[in-house]
Structure 1
Amino acid sequence: MRLKDKTAIVTGGAQGFGEGIARKFASEGAKVLIADLNGDRARALADELGGAIATTTNVADADSVRAMADCAMDAWGRIDILVNNAGTTHLPMPMEEVTEDDFDRVFAVNCKSIYLGARVIVPMMKSAGRGAILNVSSTAGLSPRPNLNWYNASKGWVNVATKTMAVELAPKGIRVNALNPVAGETPLLKSFMGEDTPEMRAKFLSTIPLGRFSTAEDMGNAASFLCSDEASMVTGVLMEVDGGRCI
């Protein structure tokens, strides 16, 4: 119960890595708000976990993010943990062929969302004198693959933002870390690969020394540690949950 009595928001928490993090947090005693664009799925998971709450949230929209934070404050009176997990990608293709709309969408969901969350929730954490923020990045921001250029760049932004946030917020008692997973069994896997075939999976897996994709459970375990008091001396870390891909 390393998160007993903690309150946590997990964006993109209705499926994939976010669902794994939400499930682990709940099992470790946290009160969880599952924020997702798919509100029905978020509410179904919240009902399943028991004691969790859910919001329909567009993390790239300022009003929607503020409503998410207001819901948490109305329910709990404080926000101890914010997990910026929601993310998206463009399909693999030469960088100059990615449309402007896809570029804007990737940076809005992967980057602007972190800014919007910080603008609303960091002041609350400063007032409390404590807090933990966890950004879900990607190995793409550390060891980029070709044809995912703008997705890679957005995750590089997340990594630098994480370190900058950590340095600035440390004197206020707020820790900021990031997880850098390799591709996993999530709804985005097909988008990363371009096509989900045995051959393409084998090609991806050949680059991962441990020989498997990241799982939602892997992410939940790592997130639980970084957001717990056991990691009270850990901030600014870009933890690779990647089976050795970035070695």
Structure 2
Amino acid sequence: MTTYPGRFDGRAAIVTGGASGLGKAAAARIVAEGGKVVLWDLNAEALETAKAETGASGVVALDVSNLDAVKAAAAQSKDILGRIDILINSAGITGATVPVWEFPVDSWLKVMEINLNGTFYTCREVIPFMLENGYGRIVNVASVAGKEGNPNASAYSASKAGVIGFTKSLGKELATKGVIVNALTPATFESPILAQLPPSQVEYMKGKIPMGRLGIVDESAAMVTFMASEECSFTTASTFDTSGGRTTF
């Protein structure tokens, strides 16, 4: 992992899904580069481990699909950090892997609640703190599935397409207020979320990547931390791609 010392000096971040995977990797980079981080995740035990491993300033165990919990977590994080400059929305689930006509309604709703509504809730509650400072960076982790759609993953694909559309709208709303909003659209990369999928689905997604391999979490973390930095200053309401050539739009 290459780091850029001092890039996040004086900056404070909230990272959802921060107990593992991309969220944890991005948080570790921000801390290594001088920033402060509060990790949000549903898994309280994993959060404590991640806090020790990343050097985070604090953790909050919550379900991002619960608006009241998000409101409380945002206020708690502000108290811990003193300010909030960065929000990385990395929390997400895959849902069932079945055709639409067999898709469990409860799984569909849960995916939408966490992946899409959770992203809306966190942005809604954190943005006012950024507006107070006249500065902010928001990174919403979407997916190539939100651009292309993956068969037997309709809820995940639809939720991530929603995150992309939401990002485009929000970025335009904040374009003159010092708050930059972009989405990341990674292809499949090595992450604990893969455990939610059958091996056949993982192989299908790997087969769609022209580079012929899965991504590495640090590759996407490097892109996320650029998007979360002051260097990303003239791109907003857009998407950044880490897909091994799968999506070029």
What's the Cα RMSD here?
A: 1.5
Deviation at 1:95, TM superposition (A): 0.7
Q: Distance in 1 between matches of 2:124 and 2:79?
A: 18
Q: Distance in 2 between matches of 1:162 and 1:210?
A: 27
Contact 2:96 2:104 in 1 (8 A): no
Contact 1:90 1:98 in 2 (8 A): no
2:214 corresponds to = 213
Q: Distance in 1 between matches of 2:213 and 2:25?
A: 17
With structure 1 as the length reference, what TM-score do the two structures score? Answer: 0.93
1:17 to 22, 47, 54: 22
1:64 to 41, 60, 69: 69
Q: What amino acid does structure 1 have at the position aligned with 2:147? A: L
Q: Deviations over 1:74-130 (max 9, x none)?
A: 112210000111001122211121111111100000011122112211111112111
1:81 corresponds to = 86
Contact 1:3 1:224 in 2 (8 A): no
Gaps of 5+ in 2: none
Q: What amino acid does structure 2 have at the position aligned with 1:45? A: A
Higher relative contact order (CA 8 A, sep 6+): 1
Contact 1:43 1:55 in 2 (8 A): no
Contact 2:145 2:157 in 1 (8 A): yes
Deviation at 1:26, TM superposition (A): 1.5
Q: Distance in 1 between matches of 2:168 and 2:187?
A: 20
2:199 corresponds to = 196
Gaps of 5+ in 1: none
Contact 1:92 1:191 in 2 (8 A): no
1:127-138 equivalences under 5 Å are 127-138=132-143
2:95 to 90, 97, 107: 90
Change (3 A) 1:235 1:33: same
Q: What amino acid does structure 2 have at the position aligned with 1:91? A: A
Contact 1:23 1:220 in 2 (8 A): no
Aligned pairs, number: 243
Q: Deviations over 1:127-177 (max 9, x none)?
A: 211111110000000111211112111111000100100000112111100
Contact 2:38 2:81 in 1 (8 A): no
Deviation at 1:214, TM superposition (A): 2.0
Contact 1:36 1:58 in 2 (8 A): yes
